[in-house]
Amino acid sequence: MGSGNSTSIGTNLSLQFSEKTKKFYRTDEIVSGTIEWSNDGDSDVTLKSITVELVGELVYRIDKRSNKQRSSATHRMTFFTKILNLCSTDNENKIILTPGNYSWSFSFDLDNSLPPTMKQIHYQGPYIHYFLCARLEQSDLLKKNITERYPIIIQQSSTSLRLTHLEVQDENRNGVHMHVFFHKNIAVAGERLSLQLNLENPNQKIIHRISAKLIQERILGSTKEKNVIPLAKNLINVYDFQEEYLYDDIKLLLPKNTVAS
């Protein structure tokens, strides 16, 4: 069949992941799969390229004011992109596909430098997302290319994080000294965070309660936001404490919906 009467490319482009039940990928893993497409016509299809691209994108909004009017605009900043060419071309830089079914394998190594997927904390807040973009580019510039996007979730590998302990100390104007020791500086949503609390109250002042909260601060693009998550109203169920010393091991449960940082 001649390639001069190139048929419509169709829209039956799909992407299949190798691990179909996998919900997320870590930065030391591999994302792999196949791009599938069928030429259902009677003529050959001539393409310029067949590619799949891994894209990381930061999305945030900027509020603007002019002439006493307020408006907002969504900005998309691509901070990572990697393109794989899935099919070689002939001497004329063309890919000629006769009628039939086709599939092309792909594989991406996820670098440890990639930031994790970050969901929105609130409506119109900034976020980071990743997606794979499969594309069939036609040789004829007047014909529309076929592009399909497939979102993926990327999390930071625990092996790539620098694990260490963390100590925090503070003293108020009444002479109450608090020393908190965290066994590790990494917390996982849906799991418990362990800490040791050492409290010195030499003047035996009344301490009504000891609470805990998680404060998340994120700077994405030109947007800075803060989110406060209450963890415990009273850490050790002690009210109006007036002793000189207090020592306890505490475990705090982080909510499952805690946004990654």
Please state, in angstroms and rounded to a whole number, the distance separating the CA atoms of residues 158 and 68. 49
Q: Is residue 261 part of a domain?
A: no
Most confidently modeled range among 23-32, 39-48, 116-125: 23-32
- Please check whether residues 135 and 231 belong to one and the same domain: no
Q: Is the pLDDT of residue 258 over 80?
A: no
In a domain, 118, yes or no: yes
| Nearest to 46, CA basis, from 109, 98, 83 | 98
User: At which of 158, 188, 221 does a domain end?
Assistant: 158
Specify whether 73 is located in the same domain as 149: yes
Give the domain-ending residue among 100, 126, 158.
158
Is there a single domain that holds both residue 166 and residue 115?
A: no
Neighbouring C-beta atoms of residue 33, cutoff 10 Å? 21
Find the domain containing 100 and state its range.
Answer: 14-158
Q: Is the same domain home to 171 and 100?
A: no
Residue 6 has pLDDT above 70, yes or no: no
Q: 25-26 and 154-155 as β-strands: parallel, antiparallel, unpaired? A: parallel
Is residue 41 within 8 Å of residue 52, measured between CB atoms? no
Identify whether 59 is part of a domain: yes
CATH number at residue 46: 2.60.40.640
- The count of structural domains within the chain is 2
Closest CA relative to residue 59, chosen from 41, 45, 46, 72: 72
Q: How far is CA 2 from CA 46, 53, 56, 63, 95, in A?
A: 10, 31, 40, 55, 13
Say how far apart CA 89 and CA 94 lie, in whole Å. 5
Whether residue 2 lies inside any domain: the answer is no
- Whole-angstrom distance, CA of residue 111 vs CA of residue 194: 30
| Shared domain check, 103 and 20 | yes
Same structural domain, 63 and 94: yes
The tens digit of pLDDT for each residue in 220-250 reads 666 666 777 777 777 777 778 888 998 888 8
69-85 and 127-138 as β-strands: parallel, antiparallel, unpaired? Answer: unpaired
Classify the phi-psi angles of 139: left when phi > 0, otherwise alpha if psi is within -120 to 50, otherwise beta. alpha
* 197 and 211 co-located in one domain: yes
Of 95, 128, 158, which marks where a domain is finished?
158
Q: Is residue 259 domain-resident?
A: no
Q: How confident is the model at residue 53 (pLDDT cuts 50, 70, 90)?
A: very high
Asked if residue 61 and residue 101 are part of one domain, the reply reads: yes
- Per the model's pLDDT, the better-predicted residue between 34 and 208 turns out to be 34
Give yes or no: residues 151 and 166 share one domain.
no
Indicate whether 7 belongs to any domain: no
Question: What is the model's pLDDT at position 161?
Answer: 64
Q: Is residue 184 part of a domain?
A: yes
Give pLDDT, residue 159: 64
Is residue 221 within 8 Å of 126, Cβ to Cβ?
A: yes
231 and 127 assigned to the same domain: no
- Statement to judge: residues 18 and 46 lie in one domain: yes
- Please tell me whether residues 75 and 148 are part of one structural domain: yes
Residue 9 lies in a domain: no
